Amino acid sequence: MYLYNSATHKKEPFVTHTPGRVEMYTCGPTVYHFAHIGNLRSYIMEDVLEKFLRYEGYEVNRVMNITDVGHLASDADTGEDKMLKGAKRENKTVMDIARFYTDAFFDDCAKLNIKTPEVVQPATGLIDEFIQVVSGLIDKGYAYEAGGNVYFDTSKLERYYVFNDHDEEDLAVGVREGVEEDVNKRSKNDFVLWFTKSKFEDQALKWDSPWGVGYPGWHIECSCISMKFNGEWLDLHCGGVDNAFPHHTNEIAQSEAYLGHPWCKQWFHVHHLNTNSGKMSKSKGEFLTVSLLEEKGYDPLAYRFFCLQSHYRKGLVFSWENLDNAAGAYGKLIRRIAALTGTDGPVDEEAAKQLKEKFLTQVGNDLNTSMGVTCLYDVLKAPVNDVTKRSVLASFDQVLSLSLLERAAVLREKEAAQAKTAAAPGGFTIQGEGDPAIDALVLQRMEAKKAKNFAEADRIRDELKAQGIEVTDVPGGAVWKRV
């Protein structure tokens, strides 16, 4: 497999520290509100990546944090803690907020067929480990105490900006949005490892530490959680592109300073989901959730399909029209799969092998999910029996997770239940899918034909065709179906 590496800015062969095993880390949610569908785009793509690696034969240990403390409203160590902000908004405790929105996040993931990682670790569960690593950084000369807080000293690094060649002036106070002057820092690039009671007196969650009662900075949690559950050598770190700086940059700085060797070779960043007005963000007030999509009648897997049609390194523009198009394409795909009812012969192993090799090559080229979707249509068009097609589609769906055969089976059952032979006025019978509006149009066409009003019959036929309805005349009536 070839993956684009954000740290080197090029596509590279994917290589792991231990052959055959992937140590994978995913930045998890800050559970102070519902995840919006822009957040979930990242988790969908990371889910596909994990499943593709398993499909290739790797053993994958995927770890994800839950940020339930320490993530401030600005990623630059300033502003109100997001968890406290959520608790005040809903007049609940921070831990009540954390539990509720953690459960809500995983409910959304389940609806989108996103697999739960092997390890899910809330930040509040590893405070001792955070203190140990911060102490180690102080002992090694990479951190210092000032104004009651503990800071990482970026001046000790040969290279701080890993993902981008930032101009130092980009972080000048008042120039970069969200960056405020902290007079305790030796350098404006330095970042907080541990806050004490000298800052944010109303902080809800605090712990004893060698530096006073306080709480960890946001960046330290991911390093510590990964080192505990992935070990010292991380193969693959994933997250949204907005986390590259400063969050992931700071993770690298503190992890490599503590470990004394390179930490993570491969960095995978998913780009934003945008609306016509810009990046989707909770801070703007209203935002789109999986529940809202369901309320509007969309299958959450239609949104997953929408995401898979675009490459993860390209911004994806959301509009209801775009989602409608994806939902329509997903529905048609399921309908075509539902029509694969043949049981003739065994699986054509050679043909299946060729189709799978193409899938591996296409998706293995920097997780090209849009080509993976194209491979589904290649299967449907392939000159093989239905048994082979169903087998290969099920194989690909181990990666794409669109519930293709399951949704197709549900559709067949639904149509079987709806299909009926209805006695219509005039002695006609109409067999269809149980839609009274379509039944009525088909009846009008038959009555027009009986009255030899062929122009009207043709007009109705064209109207039905425009709606995707195919009508077949049979003795004594007609049969219609959606195509």
- C-alpha span between 439 and 60 (Å, rounded): 52
Provide the pLDDT for residue 179.
45
What are the residues whose beta carbons fall under 8 Å from the beta carbon of 4, sequence distance 6 or more?
A: 10, 11, 12, 268, 313, 366
DSSP 148-176: TEEEE-GGG-S----SS---GGGG-TTTS
φ and ψ at residue 412, rounded to 5 degrees:
-60, -45
Helices (H), ranges, 401-435: 404-418
Residues 6+ apart with CB under 8 A from 453: none
Question: In the β-sheet with 21-26, what is the strand arrangement from edge to edge?
Answer: 119-122, 59-66, 21-26, 234-240, 264-270
Separation CA 118–CA 132 (nearest Å) = 24
User: How far apart are alpha carbons 123 and 68 in whole angstroms?
Assistant: 6
Look at residue 73 in the predicted model and tell me its pLDDT.
45
Task: For tokens 């350098």, name the residue.
Answer: 187
Give the fold, CATH level 3, of 2-270.
Rossmann fold (3.40.50)
pTM: 0.83
Across the chain, which has 483 residues, the per-10-residue mean pLDDT values are 96 98 96 93 98 98 90 48 66 83 97 98 96 98 95 96 62 40 88 78 82 92 98 98 94 98 97 79 70 95 98 95 97 96 93 98 98 98 97 98 97 73 62 81 89 91 92 84 82
Within 10 angstroms of residue 357's Cβ, the number of other Cβ atoms is: 10
In this predicted structure, what is the pLDDT of residue 420?
54
Question: Options 1.10.10.10, 3.30.450.20, 1.20.120.1910, 2.170.120.12; which CATH number does 317-414 get?
Answer: 1.20.120.1910
3-class state of residue 352 by DSSP: helix
Question: Where are the domains positioned within the chain?
Answer: 2-270, 317-414, 419-482
Q: How far is CA 468 from CA 236, 298, 480, in A?
A: 46, 20, 10
